[in-house]
């Protein structure tokens, strides 16, 4: 896995992102290593989504230093974008295409096979009639699972997910956590924002808390 | 090329399912032809103006098709997914040009049929070859310019009104060229076939220039929060 000279998949030092002049990320410093599972927590407006978008190369770095997968974000956001998997608040699906077609489209772009599409569909419980239902007709949770399945087929080494548990029922949340554990076990780094409360300490990922655009707590 | 065809196939499939071309664009374009026929109310005048009216209707319809082409990317944040995928932005551009061109081809063929029925234009064999070549080159030009300017306004608020304002002045030379070449193909008394072919060559140059410009600038134009 490509990592920076620091050995980190994500390396931020006093990173500032200021869309429309407002510093949504106001000097964040953190390192995330290969194969880590990291939950970003914080109140609304704390900078979680901005941090994810920065790491995905979707938001420009205003000040500070930042590299992702060894690529400097100040100089080459486009390269970073092509190396990460990102699912934002919105699912990035085409409503007129079925769940299978949405995933197959991404699979074609990345050169994944038809068999891999079927494996991913199965892994996210998108089987039978569900797989051939248009995304616009799926429930919010089913659309979320389709978006995450599209991400999984990309074989990205860094997953960046904005509230992936939102709209999922209990079974789907557990299924998603299982997917995360399997992904990180294979070396993929997963960073996601969440408002979930973990009661089982063994399941709890590294948790980074943000407030007013800064990292205020890092619990490994 | 695989990614170009994947993007084009996806866009055409979405259009086929949504039926925008069938229920909104085609009726709109045909209505424009009918309204011109009613407004001008002179067969001689209509026959002479037929080529220009067809391409004017096609130009208006292009704006609708292009808007839809980018709406599908912004509706649920799919553009972010495309940007964070391995596909080169220039391939997304060419895929979209291909999809828009395919839809416009259907549209222009129907419009030309409408011109034959409503305006009474006649085409001979020599004119037909010129007409087919003109349609193909003009449609590629329309799709290239439309997709380029669609990308310019895709992430802006008020893009529905911005697209015509920005694209129509650039489309004007294409409208003139396509109209003159088609007029020639229709057997015009004032423009011979040789001149028609010259206009078609100009359309081809126009298409190539804007396709190259679009491919080169698509990445910059779709750069998020630049």
Whether the CB of B17 is below 8 Å from some CB of chain A: the reply is yes
CA-CA distance, B91 to B89, in Å (whole number)? 5
List the beta bridge partners of residue A41.
Answer: A209
Residue A3 has pLDDT above 60, yes or no: no
For residue A171, what are the domain limits? 1-83+158-220
| Interval A151-202: pLDDT, tens | 989 888 899 999 988 878 888 888 888 888 888 999 999 999 988 766 555 5
CB B219 to CB A91 under 8 A? Answer: no
**What pLDDT score does B46 carry?**
84
| Interval B13-42: pLDDT, tens | 999 998 888 888 888 888 888 888 888 878
| Interval B79-108: pLDDT, tens | 888 877 778 889 999 999 999 999 999 999
The answer on A166 and A149 residing in a single domain is no
Alpha helix (H) residue ranges in chain A: 48-55, 77-81, 99-110, 114-123, 140-152, 170-185
| Interval B44-80: pLDDT, tens | 888 888 899 999 999 988 999 999 998 998 888 888 8
In this structure, what token pair is assigned to residue A106? 């991404």
Enumerate residues 20 to 79 of chain A having a beta carbon within 8 A of any beta carbon in chain B.
Answer: 53, 56-60, 77-78
- CATH number of the domain within which A199 lies: 3.40.50.300
Chain B environment of A95 (Cβ under 8 Å): 75-76
Enumerate residues 73 to 132 of chain B having a beta carbon within 8 A of any beta carbon in chain A.
Answer: 75-78, 80-81, 83-87
- Domain positions in chain B: 2-221
Residue A203 has pLDDT above 70, yes or no: no
Q: Number of folded domains in chain A?
A: 2
| Interval B175-226: pLDDT, tens | 999 999 999 998 877 788 889 999 999 999 999 999 999 999 988 888 876 4
Identify which of A81, A96, A150 has the shortest CB distance to residue B14.
A96
In this structure, what token pair is assigned to residue A78? 């486009």
Do A65 and A14 contact (CB within 8 A), yes or no? yes
Chain A environment of B14 (Cβ under 8 Å): 94, 96-97
Q: At which of A155, A185, A212 does a domain end?
A: A155
Identify which of B17, B18, B76 has the shortest CB distance to residue A93.
B76
| Interval A122-156: pLDDT, tens | 988 898 899 999 999 998 888 989 998 999 898 88
The answer on A129 and A37 residing in a single domain is no
Do B131 and B185 contact (CB within 8 A), yes or no? yes
């Amino acid at each position: 896995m490509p990592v920076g000279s620091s050995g980190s998949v994500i390396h931020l030092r006093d990173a500032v992102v200021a869309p429309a002049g407002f510093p949504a990320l106001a000097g964040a410093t953190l390192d995330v290593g290969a194969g880590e599972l990291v939950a970003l927590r914080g109140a609304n407006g704390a900078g979680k989504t901005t941090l994810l978008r920065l790491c995905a190369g979707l938001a420009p770095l205003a000040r500070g230093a930042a590299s992702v997968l060894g690529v400097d974000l100040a100089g080459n956001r486009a390269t970073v974008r092509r190396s990460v998997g990102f699912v934002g608040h919105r699912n990035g699906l085409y409503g007129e295409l079925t769940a299978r077609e949405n995933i197959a489209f991404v699979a074609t772009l990345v050169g994944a096979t038809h068999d891999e599409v079927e494996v991913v569909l199965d892994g996210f419980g998108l089987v039978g009639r569900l797989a051939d239902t248009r995304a616009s007709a799926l429930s919010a949770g089913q659309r979320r699972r389709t978006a995450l399945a599209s991400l999984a087929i990309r074989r990205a080494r860094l997953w960046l997910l904005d509230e992936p548990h939102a709209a999922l029922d209990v079974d789907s949340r557990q299924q998603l956590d299982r997917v995360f554990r399997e992904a990180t076990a294979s070396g993929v780094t997963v960073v996601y924002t969440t408002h979930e409360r973990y009661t089982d300490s063994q399941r709890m990922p590294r948790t980074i808390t943000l407030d007013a655009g800064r990292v205020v707590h890092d619990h490994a | 090329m695989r990614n170009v065809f994947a993007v084009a196939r996806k866009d055409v499939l979405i259009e086929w399912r949504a039926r925008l071309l069938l229920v909104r664009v085609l009726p709109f374009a045909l209505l424009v032809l009918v309204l011109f026929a009613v407004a001008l109310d002179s067969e001689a005048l209509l026959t002479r103006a037929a080529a220009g009216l067809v391409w004017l209707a096609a130009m208006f319809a292009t704006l609708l098709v292009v808007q839809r082409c980018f709406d599908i990317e912004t509706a649920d944040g799919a553009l972010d997914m495309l940007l964070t995928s391995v596909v080169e932005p220039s391939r997304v551009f060419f895929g979209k040009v291909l999809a828009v061109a395919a839809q416009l081809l259907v549209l222009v063929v129907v419009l030309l049929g409408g011109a034959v029925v409503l305006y009474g234009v006649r085409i001979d064999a020599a004119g037909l070859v010129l007409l087919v070549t003109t349609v193909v080159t003009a449609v590629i030009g329309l799709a290239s310019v439309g997709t380029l300017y669609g990308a310019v306004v895709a992430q802006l608020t008020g893009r529905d009104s911005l697209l015509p304002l920005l694209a129509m002045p650039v489309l004007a030379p294409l409208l003139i060229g396509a109209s003159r070449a088609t007029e020639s193909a229709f057997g015009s008394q004032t423009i011979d076939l040789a001149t028609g072919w010259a206009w078609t060559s100009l359309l081809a140059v126009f298409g190539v220039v804007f396709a190259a410009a679009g491919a080169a600038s698509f990445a910059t134009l779709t750069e998020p929060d630049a």
